[in-house]
Amino acid sequence: MTIQVGAIPDPIRAGIAGGWKVIHTGELTQNTTVECDVVIVGTGAGGGTAAEILTQAGLKVVMLEEGPLRSSDDFKMREDEAFRDLYQEGAARTTGDGSMTILQGRAVGGSTTVNWTSSFRTPPQTLKHWRDVHGVKGISDAEMAPWFDRAEKRQQIGPWPVPPNENNDIIRQGCEKLGWSWQSIPRNVSGCWNLGMCGVGCPTNAKQSMLVTTIPAALNAGATLYHRARVRELIMDGDKVRGVLVDGMPEVGLQPTGKILMVRARHVVLAGGAINTPAILLRSKVPNPHDQIGLRTMIHPVNASFAQFDRKVEGWGGAPQSVYSDHFQWKDGATGPMGFKIEVIPMQPGFVAGLLGNHGLDHARDMQSLGHLNGMIALLRDGFTEDSLGGRTSIRKDGSAVLDYDVSSSLADGLRRSFLAMAEIQLAAGARSVRPFQLAGGSFTTLAAAKSAINGFTIEKFRTGIGSAHLMGGCAMGEDAKTSVVNSRGEFHGLANLSVLDGSIFPTSIGANPQLSIYGLVAKLATGLAERLLPTGAPKPEALTRVG
């Protein structure tokens, strides 16, 4: 049976028809200069949240987005179009050596346009670690709680009352058999149809992404949005930043049009996300006396275990992520052997086809039984132990961003333990066989066989399948400029009017899907920034009095 999605009002098209200031930078016919109070680079979880707050505070805001503007009328639930339009590097981004797949959004709304809606507050253990080890101020549980409350209200985050699809329910079934803990995943949706197409752009506007919440709010309040706007570099002037230099990009294609947009601003907010934000700083040759920019880029390294079931799984339909297990997340504390979260992935064919790590008849057999396949993943919590320093973001000769990430011994150990845990859950839930994503690693019908094989795996690059959809860090927060890039207010050390407000300021990974961590922290920091940017003695706008 084919599910049909008919006409749904498209709030972006309606807004543009109603006079929003939305400009395709690739269609500029001449070099152009604009002025504003604040220019925000990036429109994802960080940039979108900041744009709404700064605009509603009365500041003149320009939003820049490298990706295209796509909205519900464009979301045809086709993977090929989504890969091309909505993901960094056409969903082909990898670490520098090609060993790890990186899924990161690149469209108006950033990764929130394509994420799977899982919404967790920053775990208290993570916030405590940032205070204790990285010296971040102002992030006690009590100080953060109102900002998470606010973000949950804004993005309509709450429990998901619909039963999970079978792909997710396998986590519950397996964990219950084993006596392991599991929970339901809160989601940022309103009126969700349970289609399962979150990763290719929500066709019903149920997902409360930046695209349908904060960005429309900012545009309604007078902000300007430039899309297909690739930031080349900051315009530097001594210890000040004067704005940004932007290359117009064609609707489709990799080469700039040649027309330049110059945005002059009192304050610059970088919110391009991990990898892209540190790359802009490096391209701009900002002061970097302690060589910290790009260090500690965290990815929640992910490995996968596929399992065949006799019953139907059909993991392409229904909320992609609705059940998780943190049974192994904190059991050895924040700094013990690397913890991990267990979730599943949506099972659309193009996506899964790239994750099986085989070819020919083996691959064809796996794909032909896709409807009976469970795809489980473990997200390793990197950045907490002394040997887990994450990766390093740098720029190539042509200025493009590249992340190099190595497998530390604590990560290798965590990957092995998570392979074992996933196989155990899948077999306990009744899997006929399990196949860890390990090159020529084999498939197993008993736990004893799986354990024996996994314990013998050589965990290494280009043998163990590793990927990431959670890019964090590279501009770590902290009060000591020797070990961080921005302070606890998100201000760049050493430049007066430059802030970073996105997931790149996290000093470690989160230990949970990061969108709500970004919403909460950026809302707090952007509100502080708005207060500092408003004239002294000016009445505090209503938008800034809602929290705190």
Partner 1 sequence: MQAVTTHAMALSRRHFLKTGAMGGMLLVTGSAAALLTGCAQAQPATGYVYLREAELTVLRAVIPSVLAGTLPEGKARPAALDKALASLDQLLANSSVAVGDQIHQLFALLSMAPTRIAMAGVWSDWPDASPEDIEAFLLRWRDSRLELLRGAYLGLCKIINVAWYLLPESYAAVGYSAPVRTI
Binding site for partner 1 (CB under 8 A): 1-7, 73, 75-80, 83-84, 88-90, 92-94, 96-99, 195, 197, 203, 252, 254, 316, 348-350, 352-354, 356-361, 363-365, 367-368, 370-371, 396-398, 400, 402, 439-440, 460-463
Question: C-beta of 392: minimal distance to partner 1 in Å?
Answer: 13
Question: What are the structure tokens assigned to 307, written together?
Answer: 């399992």
The residues that bridge with 62 in the sheet, in sequence order, are: 39, 224
Nearest-5° Cα angle at 270, 267 to 273: 165
Residue (291 or 397) nearer to partner 1, CB: 397
Burial zone of 440 (CB within 10 Å; 0-12 exposed, 13-18 middle, 19+ buried): exposed
How far apart, in whole angstroms, are the C-alpha atoms of residue 366 and residue 376? Answer: 15
Residue (176 or 404) nearer to partner 1, CB: 404
Question: C-beta of 305: minimal distance to partner 1 in Å?
Answer: 17
> Which residue in 530, 521, 528 sits closest to 130, CA to CA?
521
Question: C-beta of 93: minimal distance to partner 1 in Å?
Answer: 7
Residue (332 or 462) nearer to partner 1, CB: 462
Residue (5 or 221) nearer to partner 1, CB: 5
Question: C-beta of 353: minimal distance to partner 1 in Å?
Answer: 4
Residue (241 or 356) nearer to partner 1, CB: 356
> Which residue in 121, 105, 323 sits closest to 198, CA to CA?
105
DSSP letter string, 477-526: B-S-TTT-SB-TTSBBTT-TTEEE-SGGG-SS--SS-SHHHHHHHHHHHH
> Rg of the chain over CA atoms, in angstroms?
22
> Which residue in 501, 493, 508, 541 sits closest to 523, CA to CA?
501
How far apart, in whole angstroms, are the C-alpha atoms of residue 148 and residue 400? Answer: 34
How far apart, in whole angstroms, are the C-alpha atoms of residue 203 and residue 495? Answer: 42
Residue (358 or 483) nearer to partner 1, CB: 358
Q: From the centroid of its chain, how far is CA 485?
A: 20
Question: C-beta of 357: minimal distance to partner 1 in Å?
Answer: 6
Question: C-beta of 510: minimal distance to partner 1 in Å?
Answer: 27
Question: C-beta of 92: minimal distance to partner 1 in Å?
Answer: 4
Return the axis-axis angle of helices 515-533 and 141-154, rounded to nearest 10°: 100
Question: C-beta of 105: minimal distance to partner 1 in Å?
Answer: 15
One-letter amino acid for residue 499 of the chain: S
Residue (31 or 400) nearer to partner 1, CB: 400
Residue (97 or 143) nearer to partner 1, CB: 97
Report the run of H or E that residue 152 belongs to, with start and end.
helix 141-154
